[in-house]
Structure 1
Amino acid sequence: MQVNLRTLGVFLAVAETGSFRKAADVVHRSQSAVSMQIKQLEEQLGLPLFHRTTRRVLLTREGELLLGSARRAMAALEDGLGQLRDAAAMQTGHLALGCVPSVAATALPGVLAAFQRDFPGIRVTLLELPSEDLLQAIARQDVEFGIGPGVAFAGDFAFRPFARDPILALVPAALDTPSREAITLADLTRLPILMYARSAALRGNLERELAARGLAFDIRYEMLHAPTLVAFAKAGLGVAILPKVTIPARLGTRLRAVPIIEPRLERSLDVITRRGHALSPAARQLADLLAARFGRGEASIDLES
């Protein structure tokens, strides 16, 4: 048995006005059309819903039961529609996102602070995850979208680039040549290297570039997080290979961030979604805000040297 919303609305109008004529004015239909629709509803249910008199239309016992259910259903529908309107206007709602650590620790806090100032009714939750775990969280729909490096394979995911993030060498003064404005991948093979652990997407990209040229790094230390790499480089323990977004704005005199050339290395930073998944208005706004912040060059953290 199926009762459509229009029929339910006509029933409520008749029940609440006690008149087919008045109900017709409420629903903007003819009196005969209202009467016919109520008759069809009664035939569908197999029960009379109204006592019809020459002066008034009164609900039967069964009509009273339907009236309570209809009011609750319409109230629930209106509440749901109201939530959708608020979500479209970004007045309320919940946004879950995932992000790789290199962006979560740098550009993302400022972006989220600006977003929350503009849209205080949106509750944002964040999962900080390495690239592989981030893709799994997106696939499970634990998060609406992810922020992380683009990958060669697309699979079930869609990647929307919003920034290019150069890969730099963070060279300690003891290992540096003051005149050096760039460093080649071959040059780096002759220096002690500080590297992300194998789980990081950047590590895999570097290993592919080295293998293509028959080169290998002398990796002395492996870390999970960029601040640890920076600290080790500052102590002179090796050259840290890092995305630009993770490099402090103030390095002091003991470190220099040098571009890598031959080849010039960079990664794409993308908004990652499940293929075919449309972002909510709040998610689109946050993604646009993130892209704008990178576009203004506000992607690096500012730490005292």
Structure 2
Amino acid sequence: MGASIKLRHLRSFVAVAETGSFTVAANRLFQTQSSLTATIKQLEETAGLKLFDRTTRRVELTKDAIWFKAVAERVLLDFDNAIADLQAVSKSQRGHIKIAVAPSMMPHVLAPTLKSFRAQYPEISISVYDLGSDKIERAVLNGDMDFGLSTPLNRFADLDYVPVLSDPFGVIFPPDHPVGRKPGKVAWSELRQYDYVGLTSDTGIGALLTREKELLEGIEVRDYASSTTSLLALLQLGGKISVLPSLAAHTEELSKFKFRELHKPQVFREICLITRQLRSHSPSTQRILDILLSTIKSSKRLFGSKIY
């Protein structure tokens, strides 16, 4: 029974109930009166009830139809609101985007992206999470995040990794540290004589350095940090150095330290846009991704980084 009743039946019923006239209701709905009358007849036949009492002056609801008017109005309102919500999402007038990024991407890439996006789409809410590479990839894989921006670590088969930039590794040290006494780049082999703080292997930086063991050959690692925040705490003990990509080193929290690019060999960290394979983005997510990529490509060479 219910399958043969459509929204046009409900709209016709409510229009007649509100106006008390088939003629006025037909004009409101831009229908002919005969078409409207046929629609109401179909509804009555499907329901098995007479819905209107017709007199020469006015059309009135029957007792059985009075309660149904409120139900029909609620159904129409919910449907119209749902369609309006879909259209709003399509136009990025509302919605929620969840982003996971490496901390070093916050000031250099994400902040200008968010500023531009918010200016164009002020009604979209945004949640940003700064996480390590492993957690970023797993959050995108599990559908907890719309996309991530980080160094590839696990290379999950169900994720897409699109390189967007790379930045060179360098040594970070206190201003008075002897490693910075001579100008120019520093060779990896020169780090062996200093007190070195490593990064844990669950970070993209730490994982890369763990894979490239020859880079840190002969360097004794006593202390480890799991983020730039904990690295700051260890570097503040004094006399210590560490290795970071240039964008990670040039953040406000590490601004009191010096940075020199490393060579022999020169090594770059790759940053990828990480998304779920075969998963379509919402219009809002696609728009912020477009702005993100445009922001990266229009950036000047950030601290020696390469833009793809």
TM-score between both structures, scaled by the size of structure 1: 0.77
Contact 2:149 2:271 in 1 (8 A): no
1:124 paired residue among 126, 129, 132: 126
Say if 2:54 is the partner of 1:52. Answer: yes
In structure 1, the gaps of 5 or more residues are 301-305
Say if 2:218 is the partner of 1:201. Answer: no
Change (3 A) 1:241 1:133: same
Contact 2:137 2:154 in 1 (8 A): no
Deviations 1:133-166 (A, max 9, x none): 2233334433333332234624332334433333
1:54-133 paired onto structure 2 within 5 Å: 54-104=56-106, 107-133=109-135
Equivalent residue number for residue 187 of structure 2: 183
Change (3 A) 1:54 1:254: closer
In structure 2, the gaps of 5 or more residues are 304-308
SS in structure 2 of the partner of residue 285 of structure 1: helix
Instruction: Output the CA distance in 1 between the equivalents of 2:122 and 2:196.
Output: 44
Equivalent residue number for residue 26 of structure 1: 28
Equivalent residue letter for 2:269: E
Offset, 1:221: 2.2
After TM superposition, the runs of 4+ consecutive aligned structure 1 residues lying more than 6 A away are: 249-254
Contact 2:186 2:260 in 1 (8 A): no
Contact 1:293 1:299 in 2 (8 A): no
Equivalent residue number for residue 289 of structure 1: 291
Say if 2:265 is the partner of 1:262. Answer: yes
SS in structure 1 of the partner of residue 37 of structure 2: helix
Equivalent residues, number: 296
Instruction: Output the CA distance in 2 between the equivalents of 1:8 and 1:254.
Output: 70
RMSD: 3.6
Change (3 A) 1:197 1:49: same
1:162-177 paired onto structure 2 within 5 Å: 162-170=164-172, 173-175=177-179
SS in structure 1 of the partner of residue 212 of structure 2: helix
SS in structure 1 of the partner of residue 240 of structure 2: coil
Offset, 1:200: 0.7
Offset, 1:227: 4.8
Instruction: Output the CA distance in 2 between the equivalents of 1:168 and 1:288.
Output: 30
Contact 1:94 1:124 in 2 (8 A): yes
